[in-house]
Amino acid sequence: MLKKIDRAASRQDLEDVMDFYSNDFTNSDGLNRESLSEALSEFWQLYQSVKYRTEVKSWEIDGDAIVAETVTYITGIQEMNDRNITLKSTITSQQRYEGKKIVEQEILAERSELTSGKNPPTININLPVEVEVGEKYNFDVVVAEPLGEQIMLGAAWEEPINENSYNFEPAKFKLELLPSGGIFKIGEATENSQDQWLSTVLMRKGGITISTHRLRVLDKF
């Protein structure tokens, strides 16, 4: 079933993909079947060449349903006027299948990277997968290569994740000079915090790297 979904998604066949989702589908980000379809359609308009590959990490039977944890790898190319943008994304999720339909999905982890240019910066991200409400965390973005005499510009920002986060509107940010070879931030999950997307952009003469990671915010028990 997952191989069929991957093949349909790689063809960007929206009708075939949505046939695998229940009419009552729900998602931890607030998406339903209709809004998921709209998000996929908009995403595929941006990326002409996409490939999906899904692996099953674990699964169990729950009554008449199957609950599986999967990892999906997505690659794509966005063709611009003067350059191409390459996407690499990894999404870990837990999904519930009933009658060969996906009825529920919870996103457990997610990271995406966009690169452009002949020599985009290679970066390492230090960020926990999840934090509890009230907990502080580090968001460190470190450039792997020595800067030398190069000028590096960068920015970092966070956005709450909900059903309105999938409109693919360009983010607004202010680039700053990075003399230390990275970006180092301290954040805190405040009361009533939603899951967050933490993003960073690094730019130098050879190219641009944009990285986005999901931070899950858990209630204290």
Exposed, middle or buried, 156 (CB in 10 Å: 0-12/13-18/19+)?
buried
pLDDT category, 25, cuts 50, 70, 90?
very high
Whole-number Å distance between alpha carbons of 171 and 158? 10
In this chain, the answer to whether the domains covering 2-110 and 117-218 adopt an identical fold is: no
For residues 115-121, average pLDDT: 93
* CATH architecture for residues 2-110: Roll (3.10)
Query: Going by DSSP bridges, is the β-strand pair 21-27/101-116 parallel, antiparallel, or unpaired?
Result: parallel
Q: Please give the backbone phi and psi of residue 148, each rounded to the nearest 5 degrees, phi first.
A: 60, -130
Domain ranges of the chain: 2-110, 117-218
* pLDDT of 181 strictly over 80: no
Candidate from 86-95, 115-124, 190-199 with smallest mean pLDDT: 190-199
CB within 8 A of 68, min separation 6: which ones? Answer: 56, 57, 58, 59, 60, 94, 95, 97
For residues 177-199, average pLDDT: 84
pTM value is: 0.91
pLDDT of residue 20: 97
pLDDT of residue 57: 97
Which residues sit opposite 109 in a β-bridge? 92
More confident residue, 181 or 202: 202
Strands (E), the chain: 21-27, 49-62, 65-79, 84-98, 101-116, 123-126, 130-132, 136-143, 153-160, 176-177, 182-188, 196-204, 207-218
**CA quadruple 58, 166, 195, 116: dihedral positive or negative?**
positive
pLDDT of residue 44: 94
More confident residue, 174 or 191: 174
pLDDT of residue 80: 80
pLDDT of residue 221: 61
| % residues pLDDT > 90 (the chain) | 67
Tokens of 45: 């308009």
* pLDDT of 161 strictly over 80: yes
Which superfamily does CATH assign the domain made up of 117-218 to? SOR catalytic domain (2.60.40.730)
pLDDT tens per residue, range 42-95: 999 998 889 999 999 999 999 999 999 999 999 999 988 778 999 999 999 999
Tokens of 105: 């999905």
Mean pLDDT of the chain: 91
* CB distance 39 to 21 below 8 Å: no
pLDDT of residue 155: 93
The helix (H) or strand (E) run that includes residue 15 is helix 14-18
More confident residue, 15 or 147: 15
Identify the CA nearest to 79 among candidates 39, 109, 116, 38.
116
Distances (CA, A) of 221 to 101, 110, 125: 32, 24, 28
Q: Cα angle vertex 9, ends 51, 53, to 5°?
A: 45
